[in-house]
Amino acid sequence: MRRSVLLVAPAVVAAAVVVALAVAGGWWSGGTTVRPPTPISAQASISPDAVHFGDMLTARAVAVVDPRRIDPGSVHLAPQFLSYRIASASRDVRGAGGATTIAWTFALECLGAGCAPGRPQVVLQFPNAVLRYRPVGGSPIENALRLVRETAANGHDPGLQRLALQRLVRELRAAGKPGLADDAGRLAWSNGPPSRARAEELADRVEREVSGT
């Protein structure tokens, strides 16, 4: 079964902020039955934000999932810590109200020359982590359309909007719809970020022409 991918940028912020950022927005209040506004959202943090050779670091990531639309058991984080060694790692899953929260904590050690090459202190910069997950039910095209609509409606980074459209291209080609796939590809890689209106227009057209797929 296909899985979706979300890129998580480790923000250089205080460790306590990651939970507040991940659950902010008014829908999280512990025991309510209000559902999250998106199928999945994630935040990450590293502390401290600069390190000496041999220092320990703590990396944290939190994903908030709507279990009606995303299978919590399918959510897996693939971080990239470069020269740092993972001394310990934990994963905590909790459900409350209409959301499932999955939290990862990593203790990192800087023991190699690549962590602090010739400098007494280094500002942290890590590549994006990859968060993989599987939607609940729906055909591959339906899942791709949902992602296109959500990235457009929520004003996500243009790069993520293009990735969502590119996924739709792949699914349309696999379904034998090369014309629609070409239109989706042109929108994905047009000059400037894909507009919300054009993304929704394309999604509506795909739904009409691929009804029952």
Residue identified by tokens 């609940």 is 136
Among 81-85, 128-132, 197-201, which range has the highest average pLDDT?
Answer: 197-201
What are the residue ranges of CATH 2.60.40 in the chain? 4-133
| Confidence band for 169, pLDDT divided at 50, 70 and 90 | very high
pTM of the complete model? 0.54
pLDDT tops 50 at residue 16: no
CA-closest candidate to residue 108, choices 51, 59, 62: 59
Residue 53: predicted pLDDT: 67
pLDDT tens digits for 17-47? 222 223 222 222 333 335 667 788 888 888 8
User: What is the CATH topology of the domain spanning 4-133?
Assistant: Immunoglobulin-like (2.60.40)
* % of the chain exceeding 90 in pLDDT: 18
Of 26-40, 106-120, 192-206, give the lowest mean pLDDT range. Answer: 26-40
Q: How far apart are CA 65 and CA 69, in angstroms?
A: 8
Contact status, residue 196 vs residue 183, Cβ threshold 8 Å: no
Question: Rounded to 5 degrees, what angle do the CA atoms 20, 26, 29 make?
Answer: 75
The mean pLDDT value of the chain amounts to 75
* Greater model confidence, 108 or 23: 108
Question: Rounded to 5 degrees, what angle do the CA atoms 39, 137, 43 make?
Answer: 20
Q: How far apart are CA 29 and CA 23, in angstroms?
A: 9
Do strands 129-133 and 56-65 pair parallel, antiparallel, or not at all (unpaired)?
unpaired
Element of type H or E holding 7:
strand 4-8
Q: How far apart are CA 66 and CA 212, in angstroms?
A: 25
Element of type H or E holding 187:
helix 178-188
